[in-house]
Amino acid sequence: MYNSIQDTLIIGKKVIYLPTCHSTNDIAAEIVHAGLFDEGTIVITDNQVKGRGQRGTEWVADPGQNLTFSVILTPGFLPVGDQFLLSQTVALGIRAYAALYVNNAKVKWPNDVHVNGKKVSGVLIENSIQGSRIASSIIGIGANINQAAFANSYATSIGRETGRQFVLSEEFHKLLRCLDHSYADLKSRTLNDRIRKDYLTNLFGYNHAVRFKYQDRVLEGTVSHVTLQGKLVLKLLSESGMLEVGLKEIEWLKD
């Protein structure tokens, strides 16, 4: 169902399709461990029964309705201290794909993609570090394409937002092209500042007031910037000062 793609530089030239699997990230990890891969190899399934999200959550998707896959990369050019750039790069690639269909696609820190205020894609990146460099990265991506109903009222799909039904294999190739273009920017090693700027410009809460919970307090603020290590810096509106937080330290509140 899912074929390789030849008009990219790196991503998608080899595609491994599994009708059902427990986790594409786990399968990709086995491939990396065996050393039997080229950079840009994809593992994709129609039915992921044990998908994992960030913070130990489970990624749930209706079988055959969405894109659930993992990309194997070897960004050895990227120092460990700059590894958040990879997360930013992937998020921007997915956002660029979503923007083909909707006008207000946003990245929600650190690397979810939202449209019309609802989550359309999630990312789980698992890096293998060797010395001061990243030896390999397994990037798990779930992109909601055709699913019409969700148990979580704050999830959505491209199809639901546009009122259209898509051919998954065609959307798969479009998404891979966006990811490949974004990764090529990172691999050039000359566009890091632009990647960081584009990420901030497209970030939920940048120059826009948002509510969140921090240490059992409900606060309001705007996103000021993101540190090189990936921490979020918010300018507080409900009280004076700035707040720097890591991944599990805040909870976004719905309007």
Q: How far apart are the first and last CA of the chain?
A: 40
- State how far the Cα of 255 lies from the Cα of 132, in Å rounded to an integer: 42
**Is residue 47 domain-shared with residue 168, that is, in the same domain?**
yes
CATH number of the domain to which 220 belongs: 2.30.30
Q: DSSP string covering 178-205, please? A: HHHHHHHHHHTSS-HHHHHHHHHHTBTT
- The number of domains in the chain is 2
Per-residue pLDDT, averaged over 144-161, amounts to 95
Per-residue pLDDT, averaged over 29-37, amounts to 94
**Is residue 109 domain-shared with residue 182, that is, in the same domain?**
yes
**Is residue 81 domain-shared with residue 61, that is, in the same domain?**
yes
3-state DSSP percent of the chain in helix, strand and coil, to 5: 25, 35, 40
pLDDT of residue 58: 61
> Residue 221 forms beta bridges with which residues?
210, 236
pLDDT of residue 239: 87
pLDDT of residue 85: 98
For the chain, give the percent of residues with pLDDT over 70: 95
pLDDT of residue 126: 96
pLDDT of residue 238: 81
**Is residue 189 domain-shared with residue 244, that is, in the same domain?**
no
Per-residue pLDDT, averaged over 9-19, amounts to 97
Residue owning tokens 């991506």 = 141
Mean pLDDT of the chain: 94
Give the number of residues written for the chain: 255
Sheet holding 232-236, edge to edge: 242-245, 232-236, 217-226, 210-214, 250-252
pLDDT of residue 62: 83
Better-scored residue on pLDDT, 52 or 178: 178
pLDDT of residue 109 exceeding 90: yes
| Band of pLDDT at residue 170, cut at 50, 70 and 90 | very high
- Give the count of beta carbons closer than 10 Å to the beta carbon of residue 204: 16
For 48-69, the pLDDT digits (tens) are 886 665 545 566 678 899 999 9
**Is residue 104 domain-shared with residue 227, that is, in the same domain?**
no
| Band of pLDDT at residue 205, cut at 50, 70 and 90 | very high
Asked if residue 10 is part of any domain, the answer here is: no
**Is residue 135 domain-shared with residue 197, that is, in the same domain?**
yes
CATH number of the domain to which 60 belongs: 3.30.930.10
Better-scored residue on pLDDT, 194 or 51: 194
Asked if residue 181 is part of any domain, the answer here is: yes
Domain membership of residue 47 as a residue range: 15-201
Q: Which of 178, 201, 224 is at the close of a domain?
A: 201
| Band of pLDDT at residue 12, cut at 50, 70 and 90 | very high
**Is residue 146 domain-shared with residue 75, that is, in the same domain?**
yes
pLDDT of residue 233 exceeding 60: yes
For the chain, give the percent of residues with pLDDT over 90: 88
pLDDT of residue 70: 98
**Is residue 94 domain-shared with residue 132, that is, in the same domain?**
yes
Asked if residue 3 is part of any domain, the answer here is: no
Task: Write the secondary structure of 118-166 as one string of H (helix), E (strand) and C (coil).
Answer: EEEEEEEEEEEEECCEEEEEEEEEEECCCCCCCCCCCECCHHHHHCCCC
Per-residue pLDDT, averaged over 237-241, amounts to 89
- State how far the Cα of 60 lies from the Cα of 47, in Å rounded to an integer: 10
**Is residue 124 domain-shared with residue 215, that is, in the same domain?**
no
Asked if residue 4 is part of any domain, the answer here is: no
| Band of pLDDT at residue 167, cut at 50, 70 and 90 | very high
